Structure 1
């Protein structure tokens, strides 16, 4: 009798574990789909700005058919994703899942304005090539973060400090305009955001809980997609510095 009871409990435990695994896979798939859709939307916005003169004139000053600088709207558009990101950080606890998702779509759409600059700096062929290189690196790093048994939590504080260091160094280099400093920043940027892809993937996996309600899971998936999207975009930009061909 006791043996049958043990087997029943063991069977129940296996079934629960399988259900949690299925839920986790569905959650991660939702995260990746949101991130990929965000990249597509950003790319569409960037292409529209680059290829439709009427739209391009809203964001760029052109002289003789060549882009010479940003308009006021272009400057605002460049900084607006950062404003949306800060607003989301303050609102995330009290906002509903639909509001958080709306802010995500707004962020990635506005990010397309900034990405359109890459189309002015680098050739289309090199952007496509580096995009696929970034996608392959992202897939490998995210898979490592998902499957590794080693805890990556110790990397978190170090990587976040690295991000802050990159931001400060980039601001300083706006005034210095040092090629060597930009080379170092880009090299460190590749390492930091590669690490963040693996770290964030493991963090997203560990934060998943089958006991969460659908509203909380939806919000969690959106925020996770935002983290991975930011990591992908930054890795792409830093890799373009090394691998992209300039116009």
Structure 2
């Protein structure tokens, strides 16, 4: 979880770089406006699924809580996997009255730590009441993350004792992407952060499992809708090391 507050800036068409996690954005400000590639708009608190980019953010007086959930955890917390393709869903549509009550408590909280505690308690309740993913699906996702997306699907199916077809079907229904696309997203995320750290596209391609620089370019365009050069300068990635350090697990920003 991370808290974001910027009272003096107007966000205009900020493109969100895809990330291998389901993201909850709880808005406390004057109305964050989110739109996607299908030209649909949401105001306020939303859930961003896995998948390609095309999601943009606009708004003034930003004040909100962003929560990243492993898709394995999100399946139970949100009671289903968000639709494939990076879908945006209103938080109220998934949690109903629970979402409204939780947001009211979060807005009334006096400190970030209090907000984090309220959000964590709500997530734990939802997780305990939800249905977990199949252990086999959880295992395959963890292997993808540990290998940074450099893994073939067929050996993973053999590891869990499933056919390729069964793994494809169960993984997609519970995670929101096919196994192949999910592995590509994990690899893309590693490459994107290497680009943002200042490494050249040629070096990143060679060290993250792409056939060549053109392959990296196509993958970045496919996920983010922009070139590797633009991804390297993306504001959304620039704050990652500050907002999401390896430890501690909670941070607040102003």
TM-score range, shorter chain: under 0.3
TM-score (norm 2): 0.26
Which structure would you say has the larger Rg? 1
Higher strand proportion (structure 1 or 2): 2
**Greater RCO (Cα-Cα under 8 Å, separation 6 or more):** 1
